[in-house]
Chain A
Amino acid sequence: MGRERLERYSLTGPENQAAVAAGLAGGDWFRSAVPRKRMKELMRRSDYPAVRDTVIWIGLILAFAGLGSALWVVWHSWWAVPFLLAYGILYGSTSDSRWHESGHGTAFKTRWIDESLYQVASFMIMRDPTTWRWSHTRHHTDTLVVGRDPEIAVMRPARLAKLLANLIGLVDVPQAFVSMFRHASGRLTAGEADYVPDAERPKVYRTARIHLAIYAVTIAAAIGFRSWLPVVLIGGPRFYGACLFYVYGFTQHAGLGENVLDHRLNTRTVKMCRLNRFLYWNMNYHVEHHMFPMVPYYRLPELHEEISRDCAPVYPSLWAAYKEIIPAVLHQLRDQEYYVRRELLPGAAPFNEPTPLSDGRALPLPATTAA
């Protein structure tokens, strides 16, 4: 029964056509009214904040890697563990937010810096840069539209074992390698073929071969030096350093409405401390990001102030978000119609619910609306 329900999330199944026929695909999403002059200020790019943050980020990665490696190789000390763990979290978790921001092209004013970070972060997080650019484009077009959005992390019912195993990359990493081998052999999945244009596919195949070559050299080095260190430094962090990636990521949409055209119904903004906001590059302002993806991460707090009157109250902490997410996801194991419906502040623009297509439940769309 659970498997049948999860099949509805397939991009090649009937829900895709049903969503198109129901007007949910490429729909007209709610956006708060922000004066053009103010929006131009918020969209304006500068290299300085992202270069500063990236220099600190790379500096920390190199420092932790250097110290951890030295402690391991020279002194054979267990003190290498905390340094390598910190390295691993920066590599295996925070590369996600760098991938995300540079993928949108908003982090830097200078394009080549942005694209360079995108390529590096894609390798670190084990995503093909081309496939995932198109996947994320679709995610923004059809956020949490069942059968259309390829990036719904927590489905109804949730695949709890997979979600938990992924805290140490046990599902995503093997899948990433299967994907790399598939791409390297010149093939896409049917789902990928739904959103990756023909002209872009040679890039997918070429990048997979490059990534596999780097991993092959890493493994050869590990064998040659009879040491785990090369694997601990390259690829391995996607296992042992991945937990924060998912802890942050699940807050974005889990337990909220599906098949709606209003990001205030399917997305969370969560207040985080300065450290977490650095590690996550302000993606905790996720409603704001989805509503106005042109705004660079370092202007999202200002955008939040600009539109907060239209939104539901923010979650004051990660803890507060998970106090809602965990019970909601558990509830959805037995009741897939359940979802968390946010309450807007008094005076906010009403939810964008142009037709009674959906009230946020993950029910199959009426068969009569399918093409």
Chain B
Amino acid sequence: MAQWIAACATDDVDAEDVIPFEHDGRDYAIYRSPDDVYYASDGHCTHEKTLLCDGLVMGGVIECPKHNGRFDYTSGKALGAPVLVDVRTYPTKVIDDTVYIEIDG
């Protein structure tokens, strides 16, 4: 059953950046776009098990720090080699300066 989990405070993430979030032994990545919209995805690249939170956020794209694989973090879409599999994304909402993500319970 899906549930909303508090992931971080809104100020924890700089604009156009990403931070890690761990819950129940799973890694997630929390993004803040240049226009202050928050997004969430699985924490690891789908190519190899590299944490995306060490990567580079440019506009709506997260680039994996290991092989420069690129995802549209708003949709999870893989944007070309070496990433060919989309990364899973999660709904987010902000309440009282806290970012929540909706994950499977």
Of all chain A residues, the one with the shortest Cβ separation from B70 is A105
* B5 CB–A CB distance under 8 Å: no
Q: B81: which A residues are within 8 A, CB to CB?
A: 130, 133-134, 137, 200
Q: A292: which B residues are within 8 A, CB to CB?
A: 65
A43 to B68, CA, bound (A): 11
Of all chain B residues, the one with the shortest Cβ separation from A109 is B58
A292 to B65, CA, bound (A): 7
A132 to B70, CA, bound (A): 18
A140 to B66, CA, bound (A): 8
Q: Is the CB of A134 within 8 A of B82?
A: yes
A319 to B63, CA, bound (A): 37
Q: Is the CB of B84 within 8 A of A294?
A: no
With A43-B56, A294-B55, A294-B56 in contact, do A141 and B84 touch (Cβ < 8 Å)? Answer: no
Contact with B along A101-144 (1 / 0, CB 8 A): 00011100100000000000000000000100110010011000
* B22 CB–A CB distance under 8 Å: no
CB-contact partner of A26 in B49, B54, B63, under 8 A = B49
Minimum Cβ distance to chain A for residue B44 (Å): 12
* B17 CB–A CB distance under 8 Å: yes
A336 to B16, CA, bound (A): 49
- How many chain-B residues does the 8 Å CB contact rule pick out? 17
* A263 CB–B CB distance under 8 Å: no
Q: Is the CB of A294 within 8 A of B70?
A: no
- How many chain-A residues does the 8 Å CB contact rule pick out? 23
Minimum Cβ distance to chain B for residue A289 (Å): 12
Residues of A177-229 at the interface with B, using a CB-CB cut-off of 8 Å, are: 197, 199-200
* A40 CB–B CB distance under 8 Å: yes
* A293 CB–B CB distance under 8 Å: yes
* A253 CB–B CB distance under 8 Å: no
Minimum Cβ distance to chain A for residue B55 (Å): 7
Q: Is the CB of B48 within 8 A of A106?
A: no
Q: Is the CB of A137 within 8 A of B56?
A: no
Minimum Cβ distance to chain A for residue B97 (Å): 21
Q: B68: which A residues are within 8 A, CB to CB?
A: 104-106, 293-294
* A45 CB–B CB distance under 8 Å: yes
Minimum Cβ distance to chain B for residue A246 (Å): 25
A108 to B16, CA, bound (A): 18
Q: B55: which A residues are within 8 A, CB to CB?
A: 294
Q: A134: which B residues are within 8 A, CB to CB?
A: 81-82
By a beta-carbon cutoff of 8 Å, the part of chain A in contact with chain B is 26, 36, 39-40, 43-45, 104-106, 109, 130, 133-134, 137, 140-141, 197, 199-200, 292-294
A-B contacts, 6 listed (Cβ < 8 Å): A43-B56, A105-B68, A141-B48, A141-B66, A292-B65, A293-B67
- Taking A199-B84, A294-B55 as known contacts, 5 extra A-B pairs with beta carbons closer than 8 A to each other, sorted by chain A number, are A26-B48, A45-B56, A45-B58, A292-B65, A294-B63
